[in-house]
Structures are given as C-alpha cells and as structure tokens.
Amino acid sequence: MKIEELKVIVTGGANGMGRTFVIELARAGADVLAFDMNEQQLASLGEETQDLPGRVATFTGNVSREDDVKACVEACANAFGQVNALINNAGIFKDGLLVKRDRTTGKVLRMSLADWQAVIDVDLTGPFLCTREVAAHMVEHNTTPGVIINISSVSRHGNQGQSNYSAAKAGLVADTKLWGEELARYGIRVGAVAPGFIDTPILQAMRPEVLEAMVSRVPLRRVGAPVEIYQAIKFIVECEYFTGRCIDVDGGVTL
C-alpha cells in the first residue's frame, strides 16, 4: 500500500509517538483520525496539522470501551469515506513489583489487581477491540487491501516491575501473528513494531540519573526518536509481503 492511500486510525494519537505518527502520515498524504482521551491535545493537534497534505480528524474516547471504539470507526468512515488502516498505539504504564517488602514496616506489598487490569484493558483489550472493529469494517465494506500495525515494546520479553505491561505487549505480538494468519484471506496484513527507549514525555520526565542508567544499556548509547519508529511503520505499510511479524527498533538493547 502507499501511504497516501491510507484512511487510518491512530490510537493514542494526541501525544508522544502517536502524535508523531499522525503528523508524519498526514505529511505524506494519508488521511488520519487521531483517537485519544485528551481533548485539549487533540485540539492542538488539529491546529498543527491543518495545512498538511493529508486530512486530520480527531475523536475523543477510550480504546478499552467497546462503544467508543465502534463510534470511532464510524467517525473515521464518515470523515474519509472508508477505513483501511489502524495503528494500535495507545498504551499506559502502572509499574510495580509483583510483591515487595516495605523497608520501613516489613509489610509485604502486592501489585494491585486494579493496576494489573488497567494496563491490560488499555494495552491489550484496546487493540483487540480496535482491530476487531476495523477488520470487520474492512470486510463488510470491501475496503481492502488493508493494514493493521500494533505498537508493542522491548518489554514484551519481560521487564522487572512491569508484569502487567510486559504481559500486554507480549500478548500483542502473539495476536499480531494469529491476526495476520486469520485476516490474510481478506487482504488485511497485520504487523507489529517493538520500540525500545524512545524520546517521549515519559522519558523526558525521568530523573537524569535514571535515564542515564537506561541509556547505558543501549549499544547505540542513545534513546530513539519517534520518527524512527514511524520509519518502521512506513515499511510495514509499503511492503506487501510483510505480515504476522514484529520489527524491533530498540538500538540493540536487551532486557
């Protein structure tokens, strides 16, 4: 597929990597709907992209809510005439050890079920809902070929303090493989990108010594830029023989 042929939903599109994806896609001529909960940032994104070659629309909602996802797909179809692509980028962190002993009281603390479920809801159930609805739309309305891209993480291999996040991102790569197999018969390809440490507001908010320790583990000795993740997205879109696989863009780091 060509980038300019895309009528694409980008979840988590108002901030961080998602915002870069929206801007770069629209700059290349794609029509993009940014799906996010942050109405203020969506408004500023609309202003920033109004003069780009591709059209940009916005939708305020939560990817873990089935009704919001269905309404978003409908909004994209109404705005651009169809939906033929999806980037599952929305994600949250609620890090914590599975169990730990409090150094002061000696009490054993546990990762809460609420923190586990919140991350699973957004980072795994969200992509399931979005992929299901976009794929169903493409099949029902015959808007294929189509492409779906899941944003996983280097943490999918298991990162201490991220039981919930690692499980979600590993599950997303497993789903990439099986969705690629299930949807190929309809002309829909599914790929994944697993970023390492990327220069986003989350990393920018870290204490300098913590960030330095992280970067020291990366063979290239730097964090990645969001546009470098976009380059992997562009490859998946344009390479018609790519499906069911995950591309690691992590500077060679091993967790």
Interval 13-24: pLDDT, tens = 999 999 999 999
In the chain, where the domains are located? 3-249
Q: How confident is the model at residue 1 (pLDDT cuts 50, 70, 90)?
A: very high
Active site residue 241: no
Model confidence at 206: pLDDT above 90: no
- For the chain, what is the mean pLDDT? 95
Hey, what CATH class is 3-249 in? alpha beta
Q: How confident is the model at residue 204 (pLDDT cuts 50, 70, 90)?
A: confident
- pLDDT at position 137 is 97
**Higher per-residue confidence, 113 vs 201:** 113
- pLDDT at position 135 is 98
Secondary structure element (H or E) that encloses residue 247, with its range: strand 246-249
What the block records as the tokens of 187 is: 């002309």
Cα 54 from Cα 118, distance rounded (Å): 34
Mean pLDDT, residues 84-113: 94
Cα 129 from Cα 131, distance rounded (Å): 6
Model confidence at 52: pLDDT above 80: yes
Mean pLDDT, residues 226-255: 96
Model confidence at 77: pLDDT above 80: yes
State how far the alpha carbon of 222 is from the alpha carbons of 26, 60, 219, in Å: 28, 34, 8
Stated length of the chain: 255
- pLDDT at position 61 is 98
Model confidence at 141: pLDDT above 90: yes
- pLDDT at position 32 is 98
CB-count exposure of residue 99 (10 Å: 0-12, 13-18, 19+)? exposed
Instruction: For tokens 């586990």, name the residue.
Output: 116
Other Cβ atoms less than 10 A from the Cβ of 97: the count is: 13
Please identify which of the residues 165, 186, 230, 241 carries the catalytic annotation. Answer: 165
Quick one: which of 80, 63, 224 has its CA closest to 72?
A: 63
Mean pLDDT, residues 80-104: 95
Mean pLDDT, residues 137-161: 94
- pLDDT at position 140 is 96
